[in-house]
Amino acid sequence: MALSRRSLMKLTGLAAVSVATTACASGTSGGPQVAGKSAATSALLGAAPIPAAKGQRVVIVGAGPSGLTIAKNIKKANPKIDVVLMDKRSVFMSGFISNLVATGVLPLEFITHDFLEGARNGNYTFLQATVHEIDRTSKTVFTNEGTVKYDVLVLAPGIDYDYSKWTKGDLTLEKELRTKFPAAFIAGSETLSLKAKIENFEEGVFVQTVPGGNYRCLPGPYERSCLIADYFKRNKINGKVVILDENPNITIKTDGFHSAFTKLYGDYITYMPSTTITSIDPFKKRIVTELGEEIDFTDAALYPRVRGNRLLELAGVAKDSVFNKAEANIDPFTYQVIGDKNVFCTGDVRPMGFSKSANTANTEGVIVAKNIVKYLAGEELSQKTWSSPLTVCYSAVNADPLRAISVNAGYAYDEAKKSFGFANAGTMEKWDGAEGVAGGKGLIEWGKGLYREMF
């Protein structure tokens, strides 16, 4: 659209007024979240190209397992509520099951799904858009497609990586690590990159790091190490997987993974616990540890610590914690932002010690959706309305036959410690018998079940 000089001057003037009269909040304050650039952009674009809400509207930012589940279940509980789910991606690709895709056990199509299918089946609106600003005073989300008003906002943007322990702020180094050795725990291009790395690997050392803190998918790096070692073994590749674990031991399904490392991959996996990395040279492909060990590698998937997505800071709803910077500053029982009950934060950005996993986000999403419907109906949420999400997780240890181990756990709040922990947790860690084969079949059905739940 061409702009006349007069129109351009009006637009520029509006931006100047916006900058002068609005403040951009930081930290956990509840002030306006509008910057001049977004206000100017919204004046040009106007409202996003979606139908006007006929009643109360819930806007969900982030179409991962949490956002997809919440959108579907709000409409299921109350079809009169208008639901808009937005994501910057055009296609959904899951992190769960992706290790099986990266190692050639399953096709890429298995983990790739259509956002519009979910919108059609769930009777909500999907908007492919990138969020630039959030004004919590006027309840407006600013996107590259225009503005969207809300009555309730849900932020479910997932994780981001925190490379600071390795890079000390060196952005050139961070760019090299992100580009050459992606962690592949944010699905999409990283998944495809990992798949290509494994398929093109000829010989040498493949390094898989495991971060500290409550990182996304606790068993994921160990499962991946098993499947890469299995790939080397099946294809007679002279390769070794070296696991550099920041933790003192395998973080979950400990016995099952240790057993697989020893019995299946004794010649292919070297496990190094309590390993703190002090430097990485992406050009020489060399890692130096706190103990002065030098590890030369051929290729790697370098998984740093995680943090909440930076959208939390953009919205002014972030807080810091010991391990995971920029988690959401929410009431842990209601998921509502402290000081702004119209905003809920869910999934991997929550500060509670629940597993950062798809199944947890899915079961949690059902609970949060019910609470949002109650809140919009005028009901006050509190600790009494809280119920526990579930973590049901399968991890493959080899491909032929496909065998897997699993965990099934809920959570409980410890009043004395003021924190959440596992409750009624059970594991199935025997992979080398009929249980393991049944676990492999269960893994596939578990994945299919999650896709059905979301789409």
Residue type present at position 87:
D
One domain, residues 201 and 303: yes
| Dihedral sign for Cα atoms in the order 117, 121, 122, 126 | positive
- The parent domain of residue 268 ranges over 162-307
- Whether the Cβ atoms of residue 398 and residue 230 lie closer than 8 Å to each other: yes
Answer yes or no: is 438 within a domain.
Answer: no
Does any domain span residue 56? yes
Same domain, 149 and 124: yes
Task: Say what the pLDDT of residue 25 is.
Answer: 36
Cα distance between residue 161 and residue 156, in whole Å: 16
Q: Is residue 254 part of a domain?
A: yes
Instruction: Kindly state the tokens that stand for 340.
Output: 């702004």
Secondary structure (3-state) at 170: coil
Whether 452 is in a domain gets the answer no
Query: What is the pTM for the complete model shown?
Result: 0.90
- Partners of residue 57 on adjacent β-strands: 82
> What's the one-letter identity of residue 149?
K
Distance between CA atoms of residues 23 and 20, nearest Å = 8
The type of residue at 435 is E
Q: Are residues 226 and 358 both part of a single domain?
A: no
Answer whether residue 249 is part of any domain: yes
Please state the domain count of the chain.
2
* pLDDT for the residue 326: 80
pLDDT tens per residue, range 275-312: 999 999 999 999 999 999 999 999 999 999 999 999 99
In this prediction, residue 348 carries a pLDDT of 96
Residue 292 lies in a domain: yes
Q: What's 277's domain CATH number?
A: 3.50.50.60
- Which of 253, 286, 307 marks a domain boundary? 307
Whether 23 and 134 share a structural domain: yes
Supply 40's token pair.
Answer: 């100017």
204 and 341 together in one domain? no
Q: Within this chain, do residues 366 and 294 fall inside the same structural domain, yes or no? A: no
Q: What stretches in the chain show pLDDT beneath 50? A: 1-36
Last residue of a domain, one of 385, 419, 442: 385
Same structural domain for residues 315 and 286?
no
Structure-token pair, residue 183: 């962690």
**Sheet bearing 294-296, strands edge to edge:** 277-281, 286-289, 294-296
- Residue 153 resides in a domain: yes
Shared domain check, 329 and 284: no
pLDDT at 38: 59
Is residue 201 assigned to a domain?
Answer: yes
Pairing mode of beta strands 203-210, 299-301: parallel
- 217 and 141 together in one domain: no
Confidence (pLDDT) at 317: 95
pLDDT in tens, 61-107: 999 999 999 999 999 999 999 999 999 999 999 999 999 999 999 99
Q: What gap in Å lies between CA 40 and CA 10, rounded to an integer? A: 10
**Looking at the structure, do residues 21 and 142 belong to the same domain, yes or no?**
yes
List Cβ neighbours of 44 (8 Å cut-off, separation of 6 or more): 11
Instruction: Tell me, yes or no, whether 229 and 303 share the same domain.
Output: yes
The residue among 270, 290, 307 that closes a domain is 307
Tokens 């790697």 -> residue: 300
Is residue 179 located within the same domain as residue 291?
Answer: yes
Q: Is 287 helix (H, G, I), strand (E, B) or coil?
A: strand
Q: In what order do the strands lie in the sheet with 269-272?
A: 269-272, 238-245, 203-210, 299-301
